[in-house]
């Protein structure tokens, strides 16, 4: 659904569903590499997407690398995300939470 919304001609950046998608992408930005290997940070200056060359001319349209030389649009962020790593990380966090809960129950029986 994210690619469908982001790939449209004029995404509505005020749409709550899109805001939720952008938060998820931003929370997992470390799973997409900038050309320079610097981390992605909040957008601060106009640029073009390092993948598709579309304009990233405001915060709602994408991220910028920490050095300021590269941008990525949200659509390319979505398509280039290492989703397997995102899922592995979320499953590991869930497993850790479950183990803590089990340990807590075992100690308070």
Per-residue model confidence (pLDDT) at position 40? 97
Structure tokens at 42: 């909040």
Which SS3 state, helix, strand or coil, does residue 100 take?
A: helix
Q: Where are the beta strands (DSSP E) in 3-94?
A: 40-42, 47-48, 55-56, 62-65, 71-73
Per-residue model confidence (pLDDT) at position 29? 95
pLDDT tens column, 26-81: 999 999 999 999 999 999 999 999 999 999 999 999 999 999 999 999 999 999 99
Q: How far apart are CA 89 and CA 84, in angstroms?
A: 9
Per-residue model confidence (pLDDT) at position 10? 82
Per-residue model confidence (pLDDT) at position 91? 87
Q: Give pTM, 2 decimals.
A: 0.79
pLDDT tens column, 84-106: 999 998 888 887 666 555 544 44
């Amino acid at each position: 659904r994210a690619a469908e919304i982001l790939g449209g001609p004029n995404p509505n950046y005020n749409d709550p569903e899109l805001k939720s998608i952008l938060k998820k992408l931003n929370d997992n930005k470390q799973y997409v590499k900038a050309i320079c290997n610097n981390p992605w940070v909040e957008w601060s200056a106009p640029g073009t997407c390092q993948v598709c060359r579309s304009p990233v001319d405001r915060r709602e349209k994408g991220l910028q690398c920490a050095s300021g030389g590269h941008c990525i649009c949200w659509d390319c962020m979505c398509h280039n995300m290492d989703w397997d790593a995102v899922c592995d990380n979320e499953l590991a966090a869930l497993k850790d939470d479950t183990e803590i809960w089990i340990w807590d129950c075992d100690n308070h029986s």
